[in-house]
């Protein structure tokens, strides 16, 4: 039908639509971007023509004048980490629902790469979601002044952030362990540079004190499955009988090493992870862990960002209340998912 005269080799521009409808390009632009400022009739005519001709707006050009790119950059520190899979999934969903584009950037755990990316991105994206930043609060805050920014799992003063309430999860985890008769718990720390790591440790210390549980700490450990082996060895050496790992990756790695060494989980040692990433439910044994709404964190981050950019579709992106914008820092609750890696404390048995 309409294919013969449509498959020109050149892309359709507003000029083509203007010619086709007999109006000026500027009117076409308006009809497409600010439909209210145009006569209903011509508006209709223009939109029809646009559809007819298969018009696709050129975001580059649009960005050049308006300064808005309709893209957001999502920075992750290690694309390898399954934790981010879920974040990315969340951001991607929310973004595409709003018709926006996601720029994915892997900063590879490097503050320099992060800074560089942030600098280079300013022109390509309208906003940034920063996860597990290696930058200082001050640096983040300073950058946030120039570019709309939402951070995940970090709390720089004055910068909107999405937090996953792992401290709350830690509390549940300790209580669970206590209910199983444990009186000592070992924290298997993640990287020193991780904000969440310190946060979890402090939460652990606090709860432990309240519940009269003794705590110890080993680490730091890189957040990889492979780090679990060393962590497991250290835990065994420390005579631990229950441990809470910085994240599921380390915990899963520990599980493997413990089995290898003949340390039974949970009979000899209870292990709890954190995050409930892909795999936590089918490792051996399935991991008791703090289930975090990671994907939701990604979605919420985008929602906050889009809200600040004034780009909320409104219909389908409910905010947390009747207020204008979502709160400046939202904390998403975590809950403990008990699986088979935790069990009763071994009675009166402590390796020397």
Partner DNA sequence: TTGAAAGCGCTAACAG
Partner DNA sequence: CTGTTAGCGCTTTCAA
Give the binding site for DNA (CB under 7 A): 10-11, 13-15, 22-27, 29-30, 32-34, 37-39, 41-43, 55, 57-58, 61-62, 64-66
The reply to whether 59 sits near a copy of itself by the rule CB under 8 A is yes
State which residue, 61 or 116, has the beta carbon closest to DNA.
Answer: 61
C-alpha of 41 from chain center: 45
Which of 1, 10, 36, 60 lies at the binding interface for a copy of itself (CB under 8 A)? 60
Question: Which CB, 11 or 209, lies closer to a copy of itself?
Answer: 11
Q: Which does 214 bind (CB under 5 to 8 A by kind): DNA, a copy of itself, none?
A: none
Is there binding between residue 282 and a copy of itself (CB under 8 A)? Answer: yes
Q: Does 278 bind a copy of itself (CB under 8 A)?
A: yes
Instruction: Return the axis-axis angle of helices 166-179 and 195-211, rounded to nearest 10°.
Output: 40
Both tokens of 98, joined, read 């709003």
Select from a copy of itself, DNA, none the partner in contact with residue 181, using the beta carbon and a kind-dependent cut-off of 5 to 8 Å. none
- Min dist CB 105 to a copy of itself, Å, is 7
User: In terms of CB distance, is 122 or 138 closer to a copy of itself?
Assistant: 122
8 binds a copy of itself (CB under 8 A): no
Separation of alpha carbons 238 and 231, rounded Å: 10
Find out whether the peptide bond into 220 is cis, omega within 30 degrees of 0: yes
Note whether 279 and 82 are within 8 A (CB): yes
Biggest distance spanned by C-alpha atoms of the chain: 90
Contacted entry of a copy of itself, DNA, none for residue 66, CB cut-off 5 to 8 Å set by kind = DNA
Residue 233 touches which of DNA, a copy of itself, none (Cβ within 5-8 Å per kind) = none
The interface mask with a copy of itself, positions 227-266, x = CB under 8 A, is: -------------------------x--xx----------
Tell me which long-range contacts 18-24 makes (C-beta under 8 A, separation of at least 24). 20/49, 20/52, 20/53, 21/45, 21/46, 21/49
126, 99 contact by CB (below 8 A): no
93 contact, one of DNA, a copy of itself, none, CB 5-8 Å limit per kind: a copy of itself
Give the nearest distance from C-beta 312 to DNA in angstroms. 18
The residues that bridge with 271 in the sheet, in sequence order, are 243
Encoded tokens for 196: 């969440």
The Cα–Cα gap between 2 and 49 comes to 12
Give least dist CB 51 to a copy of itself, A. 12
**What token pair was written down for 37?**
């400022």
Task: Name which of 66 and 179 has its Cβ closer to DNA.
Answer: 66
CB nearer DNA, residue 19 or residue 137 = 19
Which partner from the list DNA, a copy of itself, none does 225 bind, CB cut-off 5 to 8 Å by kind? Answer: a copy of itself
Of 283 and 311, CB closest to a copy of itself: 283
Cα separation, 66 vs 62, in Å, equals 6
85 binds a copy of itself (CB under 8 A): yes
User: Does 72 help bind a copy of itself (rule: CB under 8 A)?
Assistant: no
With 0-12 CB in 10 A as exposed, 13-18 as middle and 19+ as buried, what is 285? middle
Task: Give the whole-angstrom CA distance, residue 341 versus residue 264.
Answer: 9
The token pair that represents 248 in the structure block: 């599921």
**186 contact partners, CB below 8 Å, separation of at least 6:** 215, 216, 217, 218, 235, 238, 240, 242, 243, 244
The contact set with a copy of itself (CB under 8 A) reads 11, 54, 56, 58-61, 63-64, 69, 79-80, 82, 85, 88-89, 92-93, 96, 101-106, 119-120, 122-124, 225, 252, 255-256, 278-279, 282-285
């Amino acid at each position: 039908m309409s294919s013969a005269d449509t498959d020109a080799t050149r892309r359709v521009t507003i000029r083509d639509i203007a010619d086709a409808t007999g109006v000026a390009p500027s009117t076409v632009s308006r009809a497409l971007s600010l439909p209210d400022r145009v006569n209903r009739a011509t508006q209709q005519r223009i939109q029809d023509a646009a559809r007819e001709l298969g018009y696709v707006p050129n975001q580059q050009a649009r960005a050049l004048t308006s300064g808005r790119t309709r893209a957001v950059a999502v920075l992750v520190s290690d694309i390898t980490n399954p934790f981010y899979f879920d974040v990315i999934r969340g951001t991607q969903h929310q973004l595409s629902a709003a018709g926006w584009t996601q720029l994915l950037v892997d900063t590879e755990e490097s503050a320099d790469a992060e800074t560089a990316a942030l600098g280079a991105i300013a022109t390509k994206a309208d906003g940034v979601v920063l996860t597990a930043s290696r930058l200082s609060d001050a640096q983040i805050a300073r950058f946030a002044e120039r570019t709309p920014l939402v951070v995940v799992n970090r709390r720089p003063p004055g910068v909107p952030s999405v937090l996953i309430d792992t401290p709350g999860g830690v509390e549940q985890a300790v209580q669970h362990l206590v209910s199983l008769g444990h009186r000592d718990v070992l924290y298997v720390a993640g990287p020193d540079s991780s904000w969440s790591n310190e946060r979890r440790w402090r939460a652990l210390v606090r709860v432990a004190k309240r519940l009269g549980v003794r705590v110890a700490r080993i680490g730091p450990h890189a957040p990889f499955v492979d780090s679990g082996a060393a962590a497991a060895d250290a835990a065994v050496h420390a005579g631990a009988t229950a441990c809470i790992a910085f994240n599921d990756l380390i915990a899963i790695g520990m599980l493997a090493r413990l089995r290898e060494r003949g340390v039974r989980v949970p009979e000899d040692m209870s292990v709890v992870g954190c995050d409930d990433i892909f795999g936590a439910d089918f490792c051996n044994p399935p991991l008791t862990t703090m289930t975090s709404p990671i994907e939701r964190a990604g979605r919420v981050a985008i929602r906050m960002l889009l809200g600040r950019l004034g780009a909320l579709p409104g219909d389908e992106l409910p905010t947390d209340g009747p207020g204008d914008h979502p709160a400046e820092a939202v904390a998403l609750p975590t809950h403990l998912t008990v699986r088979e890696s935790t069990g009763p404390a071994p009675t009166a048995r402590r390796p020397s």
